[in-house]
Amino acid sequence: MPEGDAVWRTARRLHEALAGRVLLAADLRWPNLSTARLAGVGVDEVVPRGKHLLARFDNGWTLHSHLRMDGSWVVEPTATPPRRVAPRRSGGRPESRGGGFVRAVLVGPEWTAIGVDLGMLDLVRTDREHTLVGHLGPDLLDPGFDAGLAVTNLAAAEGTVGAALLDQSNLAGIGTIWASETLFAERVPPWTPVRDVPSERLARIVERARMLLTGSIQHPVPTSTGVRQPGRTTYVHGRSGRPCRRCGATVRVASIGAATRERPMFYCPGCQGGLGPTDDGRPIGPLGALRR
């Protein structure tokens, strides 16, 4: 799932392509939205909120989208004449693009934005955006980020510090990549109960997470190591079965979080306090597969 830095870059790309322009045509290929009329509507701005995208229009409405695991927004030059957005026949399959299904098309005078395999799509009054994103904690990439509130939210969470970082209601924008990299950098075992982490250490964790995300928003290849060559961009994430860059122990991956909400957490047992409780210790291959 794209994390906050990737969503931030997507929002910037959409904003540069559409903001300040009037839509020539639009097609929302989503239940209950297919009859929405956005042609002739001006785009005020496109902004990120954690892992969510908000396209605000000058008619007082907002198009909300979430990429989930496989979604993306593609921006391409508007065809001349502009791309014709034709109604689809009832029961017809959605248009395919690059192996995914087109869920939204926004046609501007210069650029067309195409939403592919979107995980969520909603059209709400702008003053009702809170019904969709009001549950989110402070956004790590918001210039007005409230670090104190983020620390308070984490301290009040139940369960492990790794799962608490991934809970978007505590702080928004962080996913498995930056949670793993943050906890490794701070030498914190991901399965440590939040109640056992002092508030000053939680503050350092939040500061580190924000530093990592803000350092990655300007480049399409995120890195925590400062190196963007394939296989060298992270310390632990995606490196199970390989030696830790810091201590040489074997990096491992194990599940974290409550049942039905488990996520993979990469970590170094040498730097982060030994095997996690959900890690059975069996040998792990370089791609995370267990060696049997």
Q: How far apart are CA 243 and CA 89, in angstroms?
A: 55
Catalytic residue numbers read 2-3, 51, 263
Asked, for residue 11, whether it belongs to a domain, the answer is yes
Q: Are residues 80 and 157 in the same domain?
A: no
Q: Are residues 51 and 76 in the same domain?
A: yes
For residue 80, pLDDT beyond 90:
no
50 lies in some domain: yes
Look at 7-21, 53-67, 256-270 and tell me which has the smallest mean pLDDT: 256-270
Q: Given pLDDT bands bounded at 50, 70 and 90, which one contains residue 218?
A: confident
Distance CA 139, CA 123 (A): 22
In angstroms, the CA 108 to CA 149 distance is 39
Which residue among 111, 133, 155 closes a domain? 133
Whether residue 273 is contained in a domain is answered as: no
Residue 263 has pLDDT above 60, yes or no: yes
Statement: residue 89 has pLDDT above 60: no
275 falls within a domain: no
Residues 225 and 178 in one domain: yes
* Per-residue CA distances from 184 to 113, 181, 252 (Å): 37, 5, 12
Q: pLDDT tens across 22-31, in order? A: 999 999 999 9
pLDDT reported for residue 91: 44
Domain boundaries, position 210: 147-267
Q: Tell me how far apart the alpha carbons of residues 254 and 232 are, in angstroms, rounded to a whole number.
A: 21
The model's confidence at residue 292, banded by pLDDT at 50, 70 and 90, is: very low
DSSP secondary structure code for residue 183 in this structure: H
SS3 content of the chain, % helix, strand, coil (to 5): 25, 25, 55
Question: Given 133, 156, 172, which residue is the final one in a domain?
Answer: 133
pLDDT recorded at residue 92:
46
If asked whether residues 129 and 159 sit together in one domain, one would say no
Which tens digit of pLDDT belongs to each residue from 123-177? Answer: 999 999 999 999 999 999 999 999 999 999 999 999 999 999 999 999 999 999 9
Question: Is residue 116 within 8 Å of residue 102, measured between CB atoms?
Answer: yes
Whether omega for the bond prior to residue 198 falls within 30 degrees of 0, making it cis, is no
Q: What per-residue confidence (pLDDT) applies to 79?
A: 85
The answer for residues whose C-beta is within 8 angstroms of residue 253's C-beta and 6 or more apart is: 240, 264, 265, 266, 267, 284, 288
Look at residue 291 in the predicted model and tell me its pLDDT: 45
Is residue 78 a part of any domain in this protein?
A: yes
Q: Are 264 and 190 in contact (CB under 8 A)?
A: no
Answer for the pair 129, 62: CB distance below 8 angstroms, yes or no.
yes
Return the CATH number at 246: 1.10.8.50
Same domain, 116 and 169: no
Assess whether 234 and 113 both reside in one domain. no
pLDDT band at 96 (very low <50, low <70, confident <90, very high): low
- The DSSP 8-state label assigned to residue 233 in this structure reads S
Query: Which CATH number goes with the domain that contains 127?
Result: 3.20.190.10
Q: Are residues 109 and 35 part of one domain? A: yes
pLDDT at 223 over 80: yes
Does pLDDT of 64 surpass 50? yes
Bridge partners, 125 (sequence order) = 61
Pair 85, 184 in one domain: no
Q: For residues 12 and 125, state if they share a domain.
A: yes
Residue 219: pLDDT band with limits 50, 70, 90: confident
Q: In 217-254, which positions are buried (b, 16+ CB within 10 angstroms) versus exposed (e)?
A: beeeebbbeeeeeeeebbbbbbbbbeebbeeeeebbbb
Task: Tell me if 281 is assigned to some domain.
Answer: no
Query: Sign of the CA dihedral 218, 219, 220, 226?
Result: negative
Using DSSP's 3-state secondary structure scheme, residue 156 falls into helix
Assessment of whether the complete model's pTM goes beyond 0.85: yes
Same domain, residue pair 128 and 152: no
What's the distance, Cα to Cα, between the start and end of the chain in Å? 29
Q: Are 164 and 194 in contact (CB under 8 A)?
A: yes
Q: How many helices (H) and strands (E) does the chain have?
A: 6, 11
- 225-238: average pLDDT: 93
8 and 129, same structural domain?
yes
Task: Confirm whether 276 is domain-assigned.
Answer: no
The residue out of 133, 161, 186 marking a domain boundary is: 133
- Indicate if 163 and 107 belong to the same structural domain: no
- Domain membership of residue 142 (yes or no) is no
Task: Write out pLDDT tens, residues 31-63.
Answer: 999 999 999 999 999 999 999 999 999 999 999
Total of domains in the chain: 2
